[in-house]
Amino acid sequence: MTDTQLPAVVVEPNADADAAVIWLHGLGASGHDFEQAVPFLNLPASDRVRFVFPHAPVRPVTINNGWPMPAWYDILSIDIERKIDEVSLLESVAQVNALIQQQIDQGIKPERIILAGFSQGGAVAYHAALCYPQRLGGLIVLSTYIATAERIKREKMAVNDRLPIWLAHGVMDDVVPHSLGEQAVLELEKMGYEPEWHNYPIAHEVSPEELNELGHWITQILEHKESIA
Q: Determine, yes or no, domain membership for 2.
A: no
Q: Pairing state of beta strands 8-11 and 49-54?
A: antiparallel
Say how far apart CA 192 and CA 186 lie, in whole Å: 10
Structural domain includes residue 207: yes
- The CATH number of the domain where 151 resides is what? 3.40.50.1820
For residue 147, the model assigns a pLDDT of 95
> Which residue(s) pair with 59 in the sheet?
69
- Residue 178 to residue 225: CA distance in whole angstroms: 31
- pLDDT tens-place string over residues 140-154: 999 999 999 999 999
Question: Mean pLDDT throughout 24-32?
Answer: 97
**In which band, very low, low, confident or very high, does the pLDDT at 226 lie, cut at 50, 70 and 90?**
low
Exposure letters 32-46 (e unless 16+ CB within 10 A, then b): ebbbebbebbebeee
How many angstroms separate the CA atoms of 118 and 178, rounded?
A: 13
Task: Give domain status of residue 77, yes or no.
Answer: yes
- The span from the CA of 59 to the CA of 143, in Å, is 22
User: Is 119 assigned a catalytic role?
Assistant: yes
- The reply to whether 227 belongs to the active site is no
pLDDT at 70 over 70: yes
Question: Among 37-41, 74-78, 126-130, 163-167, which is the least confidently predicted range?
Answer: 74-78
Would you say residue 77 has pLDDT above 60? Answer: yes
Cα(57)–Cα(69) distance, integer angstroms: 8
Given a cut of 80, whether residue 105 has pLDDT beyond it is yes
The answer to whether position 1 is within a domain reads no
Domain with 25, as residue range(s), is: 8-228
Establish if 43 belongs to a structural domain: yes
Catalytic residue among 55, 85, 204, 207, which? 204
Q: Residues 25, 119, 127, 169: which is the catalytic one?
A: 119
Q: Please report the pLDDT score of residue 224 as a whole number.
A: 77
The rounded distance, in Å, linking the Cα atoms of 87 and 81 is: 17
- Whether 169 is catalytic: no
Q: What are the E-state strand segments in the chain? A: 8-11, 19-24, 49-54, 58-60, 68-70, 113-118, 138-142, 165-170, 196-200
- Across the chain, mean pLDDT equals 94
Give the per-residue pLDDT at 80.
Answer: 59
Predicted pLDDT at 81: 65
Whether 54 maps to a domain, the answer reads yes
Do the bridges between strand 196-200 and strand 165-170 make them parallel or antiparallel, or are there none, so unpaired?
parallel
Contact 7, 81 (CB under 8 A): no
For residues 152 and 123, the answer to whether their CB atoms sit within 8 Å is no
How many domains does the chain fold into? 1
> Which band of pLDDT confidence, cut at 50, 70 and 90, is reported for residue 1?
very low
